[in-house]
Amino acid sequence: MKLQHISIVQDFPQPVAKIFNWLGDHNNLGAIFFPFKVERIRDGQDYLNGVGSVRRLSSFPLPPVEEMVTVYIPDEHIEYTITSAMSPISDHLGVMRFEPHEGGTRLHYTIVFRGALPLIGPVLKVGLAQGIRRGLKKLARMSI
């Protein structure tokens, strides 16, 4: 299956620490990954949502998917990967990079993956990209 690539750049008026802390909290991500419900199911090693922490994304009728944080550098960088055996995607990597930008924050968000079955990858790519972009734009307008 072909590798799918999503690349999103979103600016926020809020400072890096605020955006990093909000997006780094698994329990907030349901607002970004709509229609998925997101919950932390395992705490991280050094930080609650840091390396080793696991979140579950669920949305009926799809089977739940678990993601584990593999890199966590406060106010800079988060990486995560899907750890579920029954995931509709493979070779997954999500990367969030945060940088100061014009008094606020610029987020560079990249997701790469392969669909487990033909046509799953392109369909998921479109749905994920649209949903995440919409959620991040909404977050940029919120006062967090």
Q: What are 25-46's pLDDT values in tens digits?
A: 999 998 888 778 999 999 999 9
Query: Among candidates 92, 46, 45, 48, which has minimal Cα distance to 67?
Result: 92
Q: Are 93 and 112 contacting, i.e. CB atoms less than 8 angstroms apart?
A: yes
Domain boundaries, the chain: 3-141
Identify the segments of the chain with pLDDT beneath 70. none
pTM (predicted TM-score): 0.93
In angstroms, rounded to a whole number, what is the distance separating the alpha carbons of residues 92 and 112? Answer: 6
Q: What pLDDT is stored for residue 75 in this prediction?
A: 98
For the domain 3-141, what is the CATH superfamily, name and number? START domain (3.30.530.20)
In terms of C-beta density within 10 A (0-12 exposed, 13-18 middle, 19 or more buried), how is residue 107 classed? buried
The dihedral built from the CA positions of residue 74, 134, 95 and 44, taken in this order, carries a sign that is positive
